[in-house]
Amino acid sequence: MPDARSRAIVTREVDANVHLGSDITPLLTRIFAARGVTRADELDLSLTGLLPPNGLVDIDKAGELLADAVRANRHIKIVADFDADGATACALAVSALQAMGATRVSFLVPNRFDFGYGLSREIVALALADQPDVIVTVDNGVASIEGVAAAKEAGVDVIITDHHLPGAELPAADALVNPNVPGNTFPSRALAGVGVIFYVMAVTRSALRSAGWFRSQELAEPALGDWLDLVALGTIADVVPLDRNNRILVQQGLRRMRAGRARPGILALCEVSSRVVGELKASDLGFALGPRLNAAGRLDDMTIGIRCLLATELAEARSLATALEQLNLARREIEQQMTRQAELIVAGIADVDSTLGLCVYDADWHQGVVGIVAGRLRERFHRPAIAFADAGPAAPEEIKGSARSVPGVHIRDTLDAIATRYPGLVTKFGGHAMAAGLTIRRIHFERFAHAFATEVGRWVSAEDLSGTLMTDGELDVDDLILERAAEIDAAGPWGQGFPEPRFHGVFDVLHQRVVGERHTRLTLRSRERVVDAIAFNRLPMEDAQHVTAVYRLGVNDWGDRRTLQLVVEHIEPIESC
Protein backbone atom coordinates (compact mmCIF):
# COMPACT_ATOMS: atom_id res chain seq x y z
CA MET A 1 0.00 0.00 0.00
CA PRO A 2 1.55 3.35 -0.96
CA ASP A 3 1.96 5.79 1.90
CA ALA A 4 3.51 9.16 2.50
CA ARG A 5 5.65 8.23 5.50
CA SER A 6 9.35 8.71 5.01
CA ARG A 7 11.11 5.40 4.42
CA ALA A 8 14.65 4.47 3.53
CA ILE A 9 15.12 3.57 -0.13
CA VAL A 10 18.05 1.27 -0.85
CA THR A 11 19.25 0.10 -4.26
CA ARG A 12 19.92 -3.62 -4.53
CA GLU A 13 23.58 -4.53 -4.76
CA VAL A 14 24.75 -5.75 -8.16
CA ASP A 15 27.90 -7.59 -9.19
CA ALA A 16 29.24 -5.42 -12.00
CA ASN A 17 31.21 -8.37 -13.37
CA VAL A 18 28.09 -10.33 -14.36
CA HIS A 19 27.65 -10.65 -18.12
CA LEU A 20 24.68 -12.60 -19.45
CA GLY A 21 25.31 -12.26 -23.17
CA SER A 22 24.58 -9.77 -25.89
CA ASP A 23 20.89 -10.78 -26.02
CA ILE A 24 20.28 -9.45 -22.51
CA THR A 25 20.03 -5.66 -22.23
CA PRO A 26 22.12 -3.83 -19.63
CA LEU A 27 18.98 -3.05 -17.62
CA LEU A 28 17.88 -6.68 -17.49
CA THR A 29 21.44 -7.78 -16.70
CA ARG A 30 21.41 -5.43 -13.73
CA ILE A 31 18.01 -6.72 -12.60
CA PHE A 32 18.93 -10.40 -12.94
CA ALA A 33 22.31 -9.94 -11.26
CA ALA A 34 20.60 -8.33 -8.28
CA ARG A 35 18.56 -11.54 -7.93
CA GLY A 36 21.61 -13.78 -7.92
CA VAL A 37 21.67 -14.77 -11.58
CA THR A 38 25.30 -15.00 -12.67
CA ARG A 39 25.17 -17.17 -15.81
CA ALA A 40 23.10 -17.01 -18.97
CA ASP A 41 22.04 -20.66 -18.67
CA GLU A 42 20.23 -19.83 -15.42
CA LEU A 43 17.74 -17.88 -17.55
CA ASP A 44 16.82 -20.95 -19.59
CA LEU A 45 13.30 -21.83 -18.38
CA SER A 46 12.66 -24.71 -20.77
CA LEU A 47 11.53 -28.07 -19.37
CA THR A 48 14.93 -29.55 -20.18
CA GLY A 49 16.27 -27.57 -17.22
CA LEU A 50 13.79 -29.08 -14.74
CA LEU A 51 15.47 -30.93 -11.90
CA PRO A 52 15.05 -34.73 -11.98
CA PRO A 53 13.34 -36.32 -8.93
CA ASN A 54 16.64 -37.84 -7.78
CA GLY A 55 17.30 -37.05 -4.14
CA LEU A 56 13.68 -36.84 -3.01
CA VAL A 57 13.59 -39.43 -0.24
CA ASP A 58 10.92 -42.13 -0.71
CA ILE A 59 9.74 -40.86 -4.09
CA ASP A 60 10.53 -44.16 -5.83
CA LYS A 61 8.71 -46.02 -3.06
CA ALA A 62 5.70 -43.70 -3.39
CA GLY A 63 5.65 -44.16 -7.16
CA GLU A 64 5.77 -47.94 -6.87
CA LEU A 65 3.03 -48.00 -4.24
CA LEU A 66 0.76 -45.86 -6.38
CA ALA A 67 1.54 -47.81 -9.54
CA ASP A 68 0.69 -51.05 -7.74
CA ALA A 69 -2.56 -49.50 -6.47
CA VAL A 70 -3.56 -48.44 -9.99
CA ARG A 71 -2.80 -51.86 -11.43
CA ALA A 72 -4.68 -53.66 -8.63
CA ASN A 73 -7.69 -51.33 -8.86
CA ARG A 74 -7.29 -50.31 -5.23
CA HIS A 75 -9.20 -47.35 -3.81
CA ILE A 76 -6.91 -44.31 -3.53
CA LYS A 77 -8.11 -41.49 -1.28
CA ILE A 78 -6.43 -38.08 -1.67
CA VAL A 79 -6.52 -35.95 1.50
CA ALA A 80 -5.81 -32.30 0.70
CA ASP A 81 -5.09 -29.06 2.50
CA PHE A 82 -7.78 -26.37 2.28
CA ASP A 83 -5.79 -23.65 0.48
CA ALA A 84 -5.02 -23.03 -3.21
CA ASP A 85 -1.84 -25.10 -3.07
CA GLY A 86 -3.76 -28.01 -1.57
CA ALA A 87 -6.62 -27.62 -4.05
CA THR A 88 -4.37 -27.60 -7.11
CA ALA A 89 -2.35 -30.51 -5.72
CA CYS A 90 -5.53 -32.49 -5.09
CA ALA A 91 -6.94 -31.80 -8.56
CA LEU A 92 -3.59 -32.78 -10.09
CA ALA A 93 -3.38 -36.06 -8.16
CA VAL A 94 -6.97 -37.10 -8.88
CA SER A 95 -6.98 -36.25 -12.58
CA ALA A 96 -3.45 -37.53 -13.29
CA LEU A 97 -4.17 -40.88 -11.62
CA GLN A 98 -7.39 -41.17 -13.57
CA ALA A 99 -5.50 -40.45 -16.79
CA MET A 100 -3.11 -43.26 -15.88
CA GLY A 101 -6.01 -45.69 -15.65
CA ALA A 102 -7.02 -45.51 -11.97
CA THR A 103 -10.77 -46.05 -11.68
CA ARG A 104 -11.16 -45.76 -7.90
CA VAL A 105 -9.81 -42.33 -6.92
CA SER A 106 -11.60 -39.98 -4.52
CA PHE A 107 -10.65 -36.99 -2.46
CA LEU A 108 -11.35 -35.50 0.95
CA VAL A 109 -10.52 -32.01 2.10
CA PRO A 110 -11.01 -31.20 5.81
CA ASN A 111 -13.36 -28.37 6.66
CA ARG A 112 -10.99 -26.10 8.55
CA PHE A 113 -13.68 -25.04 11.04
CA ASP A 114 -14.66 -28.58 12.04
CA PHE A 115 -11.40 -30.53 11.73
CA GLY A 116 -8.51 -28.10 11.45
CA TYR A 117 -5.36 -28.78 9.45
CA GLY A 118 -3.70 -32.02 8.44
CA LEU A 119 -4.30 -35.76 8.57
CA SER A 120 -5.74 -35.94 12.09
CA ARG A 121 -7.29 -39.02 13.67
CA GLU A 122 -10.71 -37.46 13.05
CA ILE A 123 -10.00 -37.03 9.33
CA VAL A 124 -8.72 -40.59 9.10
CA ALA A 125 -11.95 -41.82 10.71
CA LEU A 126 -13.94 -39.83 8.14
CA ALA A 127 -11.82 -41.22 5.29
CA LEU A 128 -12.18 -44.79 6.53
CA ALA A 129 -15.94 -44.58 5.99
CA ASP A 130 -15.16 -44.83 2.25
CA GLN A 131 -12.95 -47.87 2.82
CA PRO A 132 -9.80 -46.64 1.06
CA ASP A 133 -6.86 -48.94 0.47
CA VAL A 134 -4.36 -46.10 0.17
CA ILE A 135 -4.40 -42.57 1.63
CA VAL A 136 -2.27 -39.96 -0.12
CA THR A 137 -1.87 -36.56 1.50
CA VAL A 138 -1.11 -33.51 -0.59
CA ASP A 139 0.31 -30.31 0.93
CA ASN A 140 0.00 -31.73 4.44
CA GLY A 141 0.89 -34.70 6.61
CA VAL A 142 4.50 -34.20 7.71
CA ALA A 143 3.31 -33.45 11.25
CA SER A 144 0.45 -35.98 11.32
CA ILE A 145 1.97 -38.54 13.68
CA GLU A 146 -1.30 -39.71 15.22
CA GLY A 147 -3.32 -39.63 12.00
CA VAL A 148 -0.84 -41.80 10.14
CA ALA A 149 -0.75 -44.22 13.06
CA ALA A 150 -4.55 -44.45 13.01
CA ALA A 151 -4.60 -45.19 9.28
CA LYS A 152 -1.90 -47.84 9.62
CA GLU A 153 -3.80 -49.46 12.51
CA ALA A 154 -6.77 -49.78 10.13
CA GLY A 155 -4.60 -51.51 7.54
CA VAL A 156 -4.45 -48.59 5.11
CA ASP A 157 -1.26 -47.69 3.27
CA VAL A 158 -0.26 -44.03 3.74
CA ILE A 159 1.79 -41.88 1.37
CA ILE A 160 2.65 -38.39 2.65
CA THR A 161 3.45 -35.70 0.09
CA ASP A 162 4.15 -32.35 1.69
CA HIS A 163 6.58 -29.43 1.70
CA HIS A 164 6.08 -27.93 5.16
CA LEU A 165 8.97 -27.95 7.59
CA PRO A 166 9.08 -31.10 9.73
CA GLY A 167 9.18 -31.36 13.49
CA ALA A 168 11.52 -33.51 15.55
CA GLU A 169 9.43 -36.64 14.85
CA LEU A 170 8.24 -37.86 11.46
CA PRO A 171 5.07 -39.89 10.87
CA ALA A 172 5.52 -43.63 10.21
CA ALA A 173 4.09 -43.48 6.68
CA ASP A 174 4.80 -46.09 4.01
CA ALA A 175 6.40 -43.27 2.01
CA LEU A 176 7.08 -39.65 2.94
CA VAL A 177 8.01 -37.31 0.08
CA ASN A 178 8.99 -33.85 1.24
CA PRO A 179 12.04 -31.86 0.07
CA ASN A 180 12.50 -30.49 3.58
CA VAL A 181 12.86 -33.69 5.61
CA PRO A 182 16.30 -34.93 6.68
CA GLY A 183 18.19 -37.01 4.15
CA ASN A 184 16.95 -35.24 1.05
CA THR A 185 19.53 -34.28 -1.54
CA PHE A 186 17.03 -32.79 -3.99
CA PRO A 187 18.54 -29.38 -4.83
CA SER A 188 15.35 -27.36 -4.41
CA ARG A 189 13.66 -27.11 -1.02
CA ALA A 190 11.23 -24.50 -2.34
CA LEU A 191 8.75 -26.83 -4.05
CA ALA A 192 5.11 -26.11 -3.24
CA GLY A 193 2.82 -28.98 -2.32
CA VAL A 194 1.56 -29.10 -5.90
CA GLY A 195 5.14 -29.32 -7.12
CA VAL A 196 5.83 -32.30 -4.85
CA ILE A 197 2.81 -34.28 -6.10
CA PHE A 198 3.73 -33.38 -9.69
CA TYR A 199 7.06 -35.14 -9.19
CA VAL A 200 5.35 -38.09 -7.50
CA MET A 201 2.99 -38.44 -10.47
CA ALA A 202 5.96 -38.39 -12.84
CA VAL A 203 7.61 -41.27 -10.96
CA THR A 204 4.29 -43.14 -10.79
CA ARG A 205 3.93 -42.87 -14.55
CA SER A 206 7.47 -44.19 -15.00
CA ALA A 207 6.69 -47.17 -12.75
CA LEU A 208 3.54 -47.96 -14.73
CA ARG A 209 5.44 -47.63 -17.99
CA SER A 210 8.13 -50.04 -16.76
CA ALA A 211 5.42 -52.53 -15.81
CA GLY A 212 3.93 -52.37 -19.32
CA TRP A 213 0.68 -51.00 -17.94
CA PHE A 214 -0.13 -48.47 -20.65
CA ARG A 215 0.60 -50.98 -23.39
CA SER A 216 -1.41 -53.77 -21.81
CA GLN A 217 -4.40 -51.51 -21.17
CA GLU A 218 -4.12 -49.80 -24.56
CA LEU A 219 -3.94 -46.47 -22.75
CA ALA A 220 -2.27 -43.39 -24.13
CA GLU A 221 0.53 -42.47 -21.75
CA PRO A 222 -0.39 -39.07 -20.30
CA ALA A 223 1.90 -36.09 -20.90
CA LEU A 224 2.40 -34.57 -17.46
CA GLY A 225 3.04 -31.20 -19.05
CA ASP A 226 -0.74 -30.99 -19.39
CA TRP A 227 -0.92 -30.50 -15.61
CA LEU A 228 1.55 -27.62 -15.43
CA ASP A 229 -1.26 -25.06 -15.39
CA LEU A 230 -2.22 -26.42 -11.96
CA VAL A 231 1.41 -26.47 -10.84
CA ALA A 232 1.90 -22.83 -11.85
CA LEU A 233 -1.28 -21.68 -10.08
CA GLY A 234 -0.55 -23.54 -6.83
CA THR A 235 3.11 -22.52 -6.76
CA ILE A 236 2.38 -18.82 -7.15
CA ALA A 237 -0.65 -18.85 -4.85
CA ASP A 238 1.37 -20.45 -2.04
CA VAL A 239 4.03 -17.72 -2.29
CA VAL A 240 6.97 -20.13 -2.23
CA PRO A 241 10.36 -18.81 -3.36
CA LEU A 242 10.80 -18.79 -7.13
CA ASP A 243 14.12 -20.53 -7.44
CA ARG A 244 15.04 -21.61 -10.97
CA ASN A 245 13.17 -24.91 -10.72
CA ASN A 246 9.96 -23.22 -9.59
CA ARG A 247 10.38 -20.54 -12.24
CA ILE A 248 10.54 -23.28 -14.88
CA LEU A 249 7.36 -24.89 -13.53
CA VAL A 250 5.53 -21.55 -13.43
CA GLN A 251 6.78 -20.33 -16.80
CA GLN A 252 5.84 -23.57 -18.55
CA GLY A 253 2.42 -23.53 -16.91
CA LEU A 254 1.83 -19.93 -17.98
CA ARG A 255 2.87 -20.72 -21.54
CA ARG A 256 0.32 -23.50 -21.73
CA MET A 257 -2.41 -21.27 -20.36
CA ARG A 258 -1.62 -18.46 -22.79
CA ALA A 259 -1.63 -20.95 -25.65
CA GLY A 260 -5.21 -21.94 -24.85
CA ARG A 261 -4.31 -25.21 -23.11
CA ALA A 262 -5.65 -24.35 -19.65
CA ARG A 263 -8.27 -26.61 -18.10
CA PRO A 264 -11.90 -25.36 -17.94
CA GLY A 265 -11.67 -24.47 -14.25
CA ILE A 266 -8.79 -22.08 -14.82
CA LEU A 267 -10.53 -20.58 -17.86
CA ALA A 268 -13.62 -19.98 -15.71
CA LEU A 269 -11.54 -18.40 -12.93
CA CYS A 270 -10.04 -16.07 -15.52
CA GLU A 271 -13.52 -15.08 -16.67
CA VAL A 272 -14.86 -14.21 -13.21
CA SER A 273 -11.71 -12.25 -12.39
CA SER A 274 -11.70 -10.40 -15.75
CA ARG A 275 -8.31 -11.75 -16.82
CA VAL A 276 -7.43 -12.48 -20.43
CA VAL A 277 -6.09 -16.03 -20.63
CA GLY A 278 -3.74 -15.22 -23.49
CA GLU A 279 -2.07 -12.49 -21.43
CA LEU A 280 -1.82 -14.18 -18.02
CA LYS A 281 1.10 -13.28 -15.77
CA ALA A 282 2.31 -14.74 -12.52
CA SER A 283 0.81 -11.76 -10.68
CA ASP A 284 -2.62 -12.66 -12.08
CA LEU A 285 -2.32 -16.11 -10.55
CA GLY A 286 -1.30 -14.63 -7.20
CA PHE A 287 -3.71 -11.70 -6.96
CA ALA A 288 -6.74 -12.77 -9.02
CA LEU A 289 -7.12 -16.54 -9.49
CA GLY A 290 -5.49 -17.68 -6.26
CA PRO A 291 -7.63 -15.52 -3.90
CA ARG A 292 -10.85 -16.71 -5.54
CA LEU A 293 -9.78 -20.31 -5.11
CA ASN A 294 -8.67 -19.66 -1.53
CA ALA A 295 -12.01 -18.03 -0.69
CA ALA A 296 -13.67 -21.46 -0.66
CA GLY A 297 -11.33 -22.77 2.02
CA ARG A 298 -11.50 -19.56 4.04
CA LEU A 299 -15.28 -19.19 4.24
CA ASP A 300 -16.83 -22.49 3.22
CA ASP A 301 -15.45 -25.76 1.89
CA MET A 302 -12.52 -26.12 -0.53
CA THR A 303 -14.42 -28.95 -2.23
CA ILE A 304 -16.00 -26.22 -4.38
CA GLY A 305 -12.58 -25.09 -5.59
CA ILE A 306 -11.33 -28.61 -6.25
CA ARG A 307 -14.48 -29.48 -8.19
CA CYS A 308 -13.96 -26.33 -10.27
CA LEU A 309 -10.41 -27.41 -11.14
CA LEU A 310 -11.57 -30.96 -11.91
CA ALA A 311 -14.46 -29.88 -14.15
CA THR A 312 -14.18 -31.23 -17.68
CA GLU A 313 -16.83 -28.95 -19.17
CA LEU A 314 -16.69 -25.17 -19.21
CA ALA A 315 -20.36 -24.79 -18.24
CA GLU A 316 -19.82 -26.70 -14.99
CA ALA A 317 -16.59 -24.84 -14.28
CA ARG A 318 -18.32 -21.48 -14.82
CA SER A 319 -21.04 -22.34 -12.31
CA LEU A 320 -18.46 -23.30 -9.69
CA ALA A 321 -16.22 -20.30 -10.47
CA THR A 322 -19.24 -18.02 -10.00
CA ALA A 323 -19.77 -19.53 -6.55
CA LEU A 324 -16.09 -18.89 -5.79
CA GLU A 325 -16.46 -15.29 -6.94
CA GLN A 326 -19.37 -14.74 -4.54
CA LEU A 327 -17.36 -16.23 -1.69
CA ASN A 328 -14.43 -13.97 -2.58
CA LEU A 329 -16.65 -10.87 -2.50
CA ALA A 330 -17.90 -11.90 0.94
CA ARG A 331 -14.32 -12.54 2.03
CA ARG A 332 -13.30 -9.03 0.98
CA GLU A 333 -16.02 -7.41 3.09
CA ILE A 334 -15.11 -9.49 6.13
CA GLU A 335 -11.41 -8.80 5.59
CA GLN A 336 -11.86 -5.03 5.35
CA GLN A 337 -13.84 -4.90 8.59
CA MET A 338 -11.43 -7.14 10.46
CA THR A 339 -8.39 -5.22 9.19
CA ARG A 340 -9.85 -1.92 10.40
CA GLN A 341 -10.47 -3.46 13.81
CA ALA A 342 -6.97 -4.94 13.93
CA GLU A 343 -5.40 -1.57 13.11
CA LEU A 344 -7.35 0.01 15.97
CA ILE A 345 -6.08 -2.69 18.33
CA VAL A 346 -2.49 -2.02 17.25
CA ALA A 347 -3.03 1.73 17.64
CA GLY A 348 -3.97 1.08 21.25
CA ILE A 349 -0.69 -0.67 22.06
CA ALA A 350 1.16 1.80 24.27
CA ASP A 351 4.66 0.98 23.05
CA VAL A 352 3.78 -0.13 19.52
CA ASP A 353 6.92 1.37 17.96
CA SER A 354 9.13 -0.84 20.11
CA THR A 355 6.89 -3.93 19.87
CA LEU A 356 8.70 -5.96 17.24
CA GLY A 357 6.09 -8.68 16.89
CA LEU A 358 2.36 -7.87 16.75
CA CYS A 359 -0.44 -10.13 18.07
CA VAL A 360 -4.13 -9.24 17.76
CA TYR A 361 -7.29 -11.13 18.70
CA ASP A 362 -11.02 -10.58 18.60
CA ALA A 363 -13.69 -13.08 19.65
CA ASP A 364 -15.89 -12.13 16.69
CA TRP A 365 -13.28 -12.54 13.96
CA HIS A 366 -13.62 -15.12 11.20
CA GLN A 367 -11.09 -17.91 11.56
CA GLY A 368 -10.66 -18.26 7.80
CA VAL A 369 -9.61 -14.63 7.25
CA VAL A 370 -7.07 -14.03 10.04
CA GLY A 371 -4.17 -14.91 7.72
CA ILE A 372 -5.04 -12.04 5.40
CA VAL A 373 -5.37 -9.66 8.35
CA ALA A 374 -1.94 -10.70 9.61
CA GLY A 375 -0.56 -10.01 6.16
CA ARG A 376 -2.11 -6.54 6.09
CA LEU A 377 -0.59 -5.70 9.48
CA ARG A 378 2.81 -6.93 8.32
CA GLU A 379 2.59 -4.69 5.24
CA ARG A 380 1.56 -1.60 7.17
CA PHE A 381 3.83 -1.93 10.20
CA HIS A 382 6.76 -3.79 8.56
CA ARG A 383 7.04 -6.45 11.24
CA PRO A 384 5.83 -10.00 11.91
CA ALA A 385 2.17 -10.21 12.87
CA ILE A 386 -0.22 -12.87 14.13
CA ALA A 387 -4.00 -12.54 14.06
CA PHE A 388 -6.10 -14.87 16.23
CA ALA A 389 -9.72 -16.01 16.13
CA ASP A 390 -11.72 -18.42 18.25
CA ALA A 391 -11.10 -22.07 17.38
CA GLY A 392 -14.83 -22.84 17.37
CA PRO A 393 -17.34 -24.88 19.42
CA ALA A 394 -15.23 -28.03 19.29
CA ALA A 395 -12.42 -26.27 21.21
CA PRO A 396 -14.05 -23.38 23.10
CA GLU A 397 -10.97 -22.66 25.21
CA GLU A 398 -8.60 -22.35 22.25
CA ILE A 399 -7.81 -19.68 19.68
CA LYS A 400 -6.15 -20.22 16.33
CA GLY A 401 -3.61 -17.82 14.89
CA SER A 402 -2.20 -17.20 11.46
CA ALA A 403 1.26 -15.63 11.29
CA ARG A 404 2.97 -13.65 8.54
CA SER A 405 6.61 -12.62 8.71
CA VAL A 406 9.21 -10.37 7.15
CA PRO A 407 12.71 -11.11 5.82
CA GLY A 408 15.04 -11.84 8.68
CA VAL A 409 12.47 -13.58 10.91
CA HIS A 410 11.86 -17.27 10.25
CA ILE A 411 8.36 -17.48 11.66
CA ARG A 412 8.12 -21.25 12.08
CA ASP A 413 11.45 -21.36 13.88
CA THR A 414 10.29 -18.43 16.01
CA LEU A 415 7.23 -20.40 17.13
CA ASP A 416 9.40 -23.47 17.71
CA ALA A 417 11.68 -21.41 19.97
CA ILE A 418 8.70 -20.10 21.95
CA ALA A 419 7.29 -23.61 22.35
CA THR A 420 10.69 -24.79 23.64
CA ARG A 421 11.29 -21.82 25.92
CA TYR A 422 7.75 -21.81 27.37
CA PRO A 423 6.52 -25.42 27.54
CA GLY A 424 2.74 -25.68 27.23
CA LEU A 425 2.27 -22.16 25.89
CA VAL A 426 1.76 -23.26 22.28
CA THR A 427 -0.59 -26.19 21.76
CA LYS A 428 0.51 -26.86 18.17
CA PHE A 429 2.10 -25.04 15.25
CA GLY A 430 3.56 -25.52 11.79
CA GLY A 431 4.44 -23.69 8.62
CA HIS A 432 7.20 -22.01 6.62
CA ALA A 433 9.74 -19.24 7.01
CA MET A 434 7.25 -16.51 6.06
CA ALA A 435 3.88 -17.97 7.12
CA ALA A 436 2.69 -20.30 9.85
CA GLY A 437 -0.33 -21.36 11.86
CA LEU A 438 -0.69 -22.10 15.56
CA THR A 439 -3.13 -22.86 18.34
CA ILE A 440 -2.96 -21.58 21.91
CA ARG A 441 -5.33 -21.43 24.88
CA ARG A 442 -7.26 -18.16 25.03
CA ILE A 443 -6.11 -17.46 28.59
CA HIS A 444 -2.51 -17.53 27.34
CA PHE A 445 -2.96 -14.80 24.71
CA GLU A 446 -1.32 -11.92 26.61
CA ARG A 447 1.52 -14.12 27.75
CA PHE A 448 2.06 -15.43 24.23
CA ALA A 449 1.95 -11.92 22.73
CA HIS A 450 4.75 -10.85 25.09
CA ALA A 451 6.78 -13.99 24.34
CA PHE A 452 6.33 -13.47 20.61
CA ALA A 453 7.51 -9.85 20.67
CA THR A 454 10.49 -10.89 22.80
CA GLU A 455 11.45 -13.76 20.52
CA VAL A 456 11.20 -11.61 17.38
CA GLY A 457 13.60 -9.25 19.12
CA ARG A 458 16.16 -12.06 19.23
CA TRP A 459 16.06 -12.18 15.43
CA VAL A 460 15.93 -8.49 14.48
CA SER A 461 16.16 -4.99 15.88
CA ALA A 462 13.82 -2.04 15.49
CA GLU A 463 16.18 -0.65 12.84
CA ASP A 464 15.82 -3.87 10.84
CA LEU A 465 12.04 -3.39 10.80
CA SER A 466 12.03 0.21 9.64
CA GLY A 467 10.38 -0.71 6.34
CA THR A 468 13.37 -0.23 4.06
CA LEU A 469 12.34 -0.24 0.40
CA MET A 470 14.65 -2.21 -1.86
CA THR A 471 14.67 -1.06 -5.48
CA ASP A 472 16.60 -1.69 -8.68
CA GLY A 473 17.76 1.90 -8.70
CA GLU A 474 16.72 4.88 -10.78
CA LEU A 475 15.66 4.61 -14.39
CA ASP A 476 16.97 6.85 -17.11
CA VAL A 477 14.22 8.97 -18.58
CA ASP A 478 14.66 7.10 -21.87
CA ASP A 479 13.59 3.90 -20.11
CA LEU A 480 10.21 5.34 -19.12
CA ILE A 481 8.59 3.80 -22.18
CA LEU A 482 6.03 1.09 -22.91
CA GLU A 483 8.62 -1.11 -24.62
CA ARG A 484 10.70 -1.28 -21.44
CA ALA A 485 7.65 -2.36 -19.43
CA ALA A 486 6.98 -5.14 -21.96
CA GLU A 487 10.62 -6.23 -21.82
CA ILE A 488 10.56 -6.58 -18.05
CA ASP A 489 7.22 -8.37 -18.12
CA ALA A 490 8.53 -10.91 -20.64
CA ALA A 491 11.60 -11.56 -18.47
CA GLY A 492 9.45 -13.10 -15.71
CA PRO A 493 7.92 -14.91 -14.03
CA TRP A 494 8.38 -12.69 -11.00
CA GLY A 495 7.31 -13.52 -7.47
CA GLN A 496 8.50 -14.46 -4.00
CA GLY A 497 12.29 -14.59 -3.84
CA PHE A 498 12.53 -13.27 -7.41
CA PRO A 499 10.68 -9.97 -7.03
CA GLU A 500 9.29 -7.95 -9.88
CA PRO A 501 11.63 -5.01 -10.55
CA ARG A 502 10.77 -1.72 -8.93
CA PHE A 503 12.56 1.56 -9.27
CA HIS A 504 12.66 4.92 -7.57
CA GLY A 505 12.96 8.49 -8.76
CA VAL A 506 12.03 12.12 -8.24
CA PHE A 507 9.07 13.51 -10.18
CA ASP A 508 7.12 16.72 -10.60
CA VAL A 509 3.40 16.30 -9.89
CA LEU A 510 1.40 17.81 -12.73
CA HIS A 511 -2.00 16.44 -11.79
CA GLN A 512 -3.68 14.05 -9.35
CA ARG A 513 -7.27 12.91 -8.87
CA VAL A 514 -9.22 10.23 -7.00
CA VAL A 515 -10.44 7.20 -8.94
CA GLY A 516 -12.49 4.31 -7.63
CA GLU A 517 -13.04 6.11 -4.28
CA ARG A 518 -9.65 5.26 -2.72
CA HIS A 519 -7.01 5.28 -5.46
CA THR A 520 -5.10 8.19 -6.96
CA ARG A 521 -4.31 8.67 -10.62
CA LEU A 522 -1.36 10.99 -11.21
CA THR A 523 0.40 12.71 -14.07
CA LEU A 524 4.11 12.92 -13.31
CA ARG A 525 7.10 14.45 -15.07
CA SER A 526 10.74 13.42 -15.02
CA ARG A 527 12.76 16.02 -16.86
CA GLU A 528 10.99 16.31 -20.23
CA ARG A 529 9.13 12.97 -20.01
CA VAL A 530 5.49 13.02 -18.84
CA VAL A 531 4.02 9.72 -17.61
CA ASP A 532 0.77 8.46 -16.11
CA ALA A 533 0.80 6.73 -12.72
CA ILE A 534 -1.60 5.01 -10.37
CA ALA A 535 -1.28 4.75 -6.57
CA PHE A 536 -3.66 2.15 -5.16
CA ASN A 537 -5.20 2.69 -1.71
CA ARG A 538 -3.71 6.17 -1.55
CA LEU A 539 -5.58 9.49 -1.60
CA PRO A 540 -4.08 12.59 -3.26
CA MET A 541 -1.38 14.58 -1.44
CA GLU A 542 -2.43 18.13 -0.83
CA ASP A 543 -0.18 20.79 -2.39
CA ALA A 544 2.50 18.25 -3.35
CA GLN A 545 4.53 19.58 -6.27
CA HIS A 546 7.53 17.26 -6.13
CA VAL A 547 7.66 13.67 -4.90
CA THR A 548 9.94 10.71 -4.47
CA ALA A 549 8.20 7.61 -5.80
CA VAL A 550 8.94 3.89 -5.73
CA TYR A 551 7.20 2.25 -8.66
CA ARG A 552 6.92 -0.62 -11.10
CA LEU A 553 6.60 -0.24 -14.84
CA GLY A 554 3.06 -1.22 -15.78
CA VAL A 555 0.67 -1.02 -18.69
CA ASN A 556 -2.66 0.79 -18.88
CA ASP A 557 -4.80 -1.03 -21.43
CA TRP A 558 -7.98 0.89 -20.78
CA GLY A 559 -9.76 1.59 -24.04
CA ASP A 560 -8.17 0.87 -27.39
CA ARG A 561 -4.63 1.97 -26.55
CA ARG A 562 -1.88 0.45 -24.42
CA THR A 563 0.19 3.08 -22.66
CA LEU A 564 2.90 3.12 -20.01
CA GLN A 565 1.67 3.46 -16.45
CA LEU A 566 3.82 3.65 -13.33
CA VAL A 567 2.36 1.53 -10.54
CA VAL A 568 3.33 3.47 -7.43
CA GLU A 569 4.11 1.41 -4.31
CA HIS A 570 5.37 4.28 -2.15
CA ILE A 571 5.25 8.03 -2.58
CA GLU A 572 6.26 10.93 -0.37
CA PRO A 573 6.37 14.67 -1.02
CA ILE A 574 9.65 16.58 -0.97
CA GLU A 575 10.20 20.26 -0.41
CA SER A 576 12.13 21.01 -3.55
CA CYS A 577 13.40 19.28 -6.65
The answer to whether 325 and 299 are in contact (CB under 8 A) is no
pLDDT of residue 518: 84
Tell whether the model's pLDDT for residue 350 goes beyond 80: no
Those residues with Cβ within 8 angstroms of residue 138's Cβ, 6 or more apart along the chain or in another chain:
78, 79, 80, 81, 86, 89, 90, 92, 93, 161, 162, 193, 194, 196, 197
Note the CATH number of domain 51-248. Answer: 3.90.1640.30
Those residues with Cβ within 8 angstroms of residue 192's Cβ, 6 or more apart along the chain or in another chain:
85, 89, 139, 163, 231, 234, 235, 238, 240, 246
Question: Average pLDDT, whole number, for the chain?
Answer: 94
Cis bond leading into 241, ω under 30°? no
CATH of the structural domain 348-465, one choice from 3.40.50.300, 3.10.310.30, 2.60.40.10, 3.40.50.720: 3.10.310.30
For the stretch 269-299, pLDDT in tens is 999 999 999 999 999 999 999 999 999 999 9
pLDDT of residue 542: 85
User: What is the domain partition of the chain in residue ranges?
Assistant: 9-43+469-573, 51-248, 348-465
Tell whether the model's pLDDT for residue 559 goes beyond 90: no
Tell whether the model's pLDDT for residue 403 goes beyond 90: yes
Overall average pLDDT of the 132-139 stretch: 98
Tell whether the model's pLDDT for residue 255 goes beyond 50: yes
Class of domain 9-43+469-573: mainly beta
**Higher confidence at residue 61 or residue 5?**
61
